[in-house]
Chains A and B, each alone.
Chain A
Amino acid sequence: GQNIDQPTEMTATEGAIVQINCTYQTSGFNGLFWYQQHAGEAPTFLSYNVLDGLEEKGRFSSFLSRSKGYSYLLLKELQMKDSASYLCAVRDGDYKLSFGAGTTVTVRA
């Protein structure tokens, strides 16, 4: 099984940077995903890491260290629309996802 931990809540100011950490313990690893979920909506895919290092996609970047069981999602130049929950998910050897409980990010003006 998987044990995935991420902070429950974070608050930041518009235009700032926020880093959401995710640690995991896994019995098999086939990649780590970050999803964004606005209140009352479905999760949508943000990023995927399977090798160590940083993946950059516009204002969002995701980092992975497999040896440390650690990932982070970096949100730059925060906008009000970035207020949402961010879900860390690990894919196991059977290609099934296990999700963390999610981090609710609130962006303040």
Chain B
Amino acid sequence: IAGITQAPTSQILAAGRRMTLRCTQDMRHNAMYWYRQDLGLGLRLIHYSNTAGTTGKGEVPDGYSVSRANTDDFPLTLASAVPSQTSVYFCASSPEGEGSNEQFFGPGTRLTVL
């Protein structure tokens, strides 16, 4: 693994189903993030984690949950998917602390909820 990976690449899901989007990074970054990207709205933060064992809510957390059991993995779960959760989901990671510490993005998961 080089960088940050996401799975699946795309998914079509029936409303009401449970779905977990996977994210793994091998850069030993402390901080990880989940965004959704919708046309005309840009990237919006769903949840974040500053370090393993801690998580926080972003701008649009409702209907989503996350866990951070270790440094590398940061799964995002939709407990009961709804059509408004149709979006492209990006996972990102960054080193913690000051400085540029830009976020590195995974390739994204395109999710369609019918």
Q: Does B45 contact A48, Cβ atoms closer than 8 Å?
A: no
Give the secondary structure class of A's interface.
Answer: loop
- B12 sits at the interface (CB 8 A): no
Pick the interface stretch among B35-43, B67-75, B78-86: B35-43
- Return chain B residues, CB-CB under 8 Å to A12: none
Could you tell me the distance between the alpha carbons of A67 and B33 in the complex, rounded to whole angstroms?
29
Q: Does A42 contact B90, Cβ atoms closer than 8 Å?
A: yes
- Binary interface encoding of chain A residues 79-104 relative to chain B, with 1 for a CB under 8 A from any of its CBs, else 0: 00000000101000001111111100
- Return chain B residues, CB-CB under 8 Å to A89: 43
- Chain B interface: which size bin? 20 to 34
- Binary interface encoding of chain B residues 73-106 relative to chain A, with 1 for a CB under 8 A from any of its CBs, else 0: 0000000000000000010000010101111111
- Return chain B residues, CB-CB under 8 Å to A48: 100, 102
Most chain A CB atoms below 10 A, which of B43, B44, B48, B100: B43
Chain A positions 39-93 with a Cβ under 8 Å from a chain B Cβ:
41-45, 48, 50, 87, 89
Could you tell me the distance between the alpha carbons of A89 and B100 in the complex, rounded to whole angstroms?
12
Could you tell me the distance between the alpha carbons of A96 and B78 in the complex, rounded to whole angstroms?
22
Q: Does A97 contact B103, Cβ atoms closer than 8 Å?
A: yes
